[in-house]
Amino acid sequence: MEYVEVLKKLVSIDTSVPPGNNYAQAVDYLETFFIGMGFTTHKIAIPPEHAEGRPGRVNLVSHRRRQGLQRLIFYGHLDVVPAEGWDAFNLREENGKLYGRGTADMKGSIVALIAAMQRLKNRNLNFDISVILTTDEELSQASQLKYLAGYLHPVAGAYFCNLDSSAGFVSVTGLGALQMEIRVKGRSVHSGLSHLGENAVEKAFFLLQALLGLKNKLETKKSSVPVHHATGLTHMQPRLNINMISGGLKVNIVPDECVISIDRRLIPEENLADAQAELIEVLKSVPGVNWEISAVTTIPAVPPRDDPVIDRLSAIVTRVTGEGGKFGEMGSGDLSSIVAGWGALGFGMGVIRPECNIHGKNEFVYLKDIQNLAEVIELFVTS
């Protein structure tokens, strides 16, 4: 298969979310590959009520079923984050690197899966295989995944391989997430009469100071789960980031509202209830600020998984790439907790490296990593 040409076409289909307008086009393109490889395919239009009201969510489920064998479900997502300030949807090849939005996160992995399955078209596989290509991973997709379960049975006891993972090792867990929107209240007046009002932006500053104090405290913690050396860390660590602040209408109006959005990431040893209580305690410790929590999104942390099949996969990665090992990821998503709830055993491998700059300008993937992943998949499902 011509890796570059297939990835070029897939990247050219702008599946940025928001808005998520071109999912059906991407599914139509990819479905032809799976049909040609002997898979039974299903294009599934997710009802808006199972997609937080979003229309046009089309997923692809493909099967090469072999009843009686161990279930193995490969996962990928079609959506990418928006891109500005660079030619993100025209693939550029340069010195073994393929530049474009979604090349590493995670359309390169989808291309690797197709390449492996094309080579295995006429061979018996050692698993009862399904593939799901989903939407809205970059927003939230828990309800969509739950809807897809009806097309994947049995899921209990299945192995679930997340291809939205790092290159060079097997991912055995990720961070949990607690995202919170804090709305600071004030009273608007003319800026010249500010003594009669209450400046919500300035009040928010005191909350920010307290949150940064908690951030410093959290970053002294370490999990018992190691991470790959390429991250610059030795073990998983919790995170607290203040990633969005918005407030004010005009330069001469005292603002009556300021919104702070925070992103708290949890190591496997932490739980959501304690993390949320800790955040609220810190906010309450700040006197003289009127605030409320207006939105909360949660993803529980999942303990690291261990199984002989993970050991075997790690050995294959080492054989193909010279790397290998089992590590935690410093990322998170809906998938891990959903898979755990199904009673499946989840793990991951992919083509993402820290230097690939996913979500940033000039995201790229190494062509060699796509080729290596294809070989790892081929050996994994046949050895």
Residue 376: burial class (beta carbons within 10 Å; 0-12, 13-18, 19+): buried
Side-by-side strand order, sheet with 257-266:
239-247, 257-266, 176-185, 290-299
pLDDT at 332: 86
Listed in order, the ranges of the chain carrying CATH 3.30.70.360 are 176-299
Report residue 343: phi and psi, to 5°: 80, 20
Contacts of 205 by beta carbon, 8 Å cutoff, 6+ apart: none
In the predicted model, residues of the chain with pLDDT beneath 50 are none
Q: Distance between CA 10 and CA 21 in Å, rounded?
A: 14
Model confidence, pTM: 0.91
Tokens standing for residue 352: 């993402």
Percentage helix, strand, coil for the chain under 3-state DSSP, each rounded to 5:
35, 25, 40
CATH of segment(s) 176-299: 3.30.70.360
User: By percentage, how much of the chain surpasses pLDDT 70?
Assistant: 100
Listed in order, the ranges of the chain carrying CATH 3.40.630.10 are 3-174+302-382
CATH of segment(s) 3-174+302-382: 3.40.630.10
Query: Could you check whether the bond before residue 180 is cis, i.e. omega within 30 degrees of 0?
Result: no
Contacts of 80 by beta carbon, 8 Å cutoff, 6+ apart: 15, 16, 17, 101, 102, 105, 107, 138
Report strand pairing: 290-299 vs 345-348: unpaired
